[in-house]
Amino acid sequence: MKVTRRTTLGLLAATVATPVFAAKPPVFVGKNGYAINGYDPVAYFTMGKPVAGSMDHSVMHNGATFLFANTEHKSMFESDPERYAPQFGGYCAYAVSKGATAKTEPDAWTVVDDKLYLNFNTEVRALWKQDIPGNIERANNNWPDVLNK
């Protein structure tokens, strides 16, 4: 079989266009360059609200920098990042349930069964809450393939 330059370039383009996830899919990073727009993921569990993190307490996880309000939260995350990291890489859980992706806002959040879910905004969170179990199931079925769309 003769491999032409055109075939080689076509295969290379297809490979580059298809995300490859060595370990985990990427984490959504906000315009400021931080996961969850720089908010502390552990605070949702321990304080029950979004709390801004500090660059003094940062951890690189899954290709993104997470910020924490204090050393204790940073240590908790480092000991069990999968427990505290937002589901679906921090993308809007409702969007993922619909087969799409969208950015998120730190104040549009829900903890369900000890997992953090983020939404585009509080209006979308209200839609998300209308059928949380169904939305989680659909999002789990779409994740991470939705990133290839």
- On the question of pLDDT at 87 being above 70, the answer is yes
Looking from the CA of 91 toward its CB, the CA atoms found within 13 Å total 22
3-state SS assignment for residue 142: helix
Q: What's the rounded Cα separation, in Å, for the pair 57 and 73?
A: 9
* 78 touches 68 (CB < 8 A): no
Q: What's the rounded Cα separation, in Å, for the pair 124 and 108?
A: 8
pLDDT 10s digits, 53-64? 999 999 999 999
Please report, rounded to a whole number, the percentage of residues in the chain having pLDDT higher than 90: 79
pLDDT of residue 17: 33
pLDDT of residue 26: 78
pLDDT of residue 31: 87
The pLDDT mean for the chain works out to: 87
- Mean pLDDT confidence for 84-104: 97
Q: Token pair of 83, please?
A: 């427990």
pLDDT of residue 14: 34
- On the question of pLDDT at 122 being above 70, the answer is yes
Burial degree of 138 (CB within 10 A; 0-12, 13-18, 19+): middle
Q: Which residues contact 89 (CB under 8 A, 6 or more apart)?
A: 24, 25, 26, 27, 28, 62, 144, 147
Q: Which residues of 103-128 are buried (b: 16+ CB within 10 A; e: fewer)?
A: bbbbebbbeeeebbbbbbeeebbeeb
pLDDT of residue 19: 38
- On the question of pLDDT at 29 being above 70, the answer is yes
* pTM reported for the whole predicted model: 0.83
Q: Which residues contact 1 (CB under 8 A, 6 or more apart)?
A: none
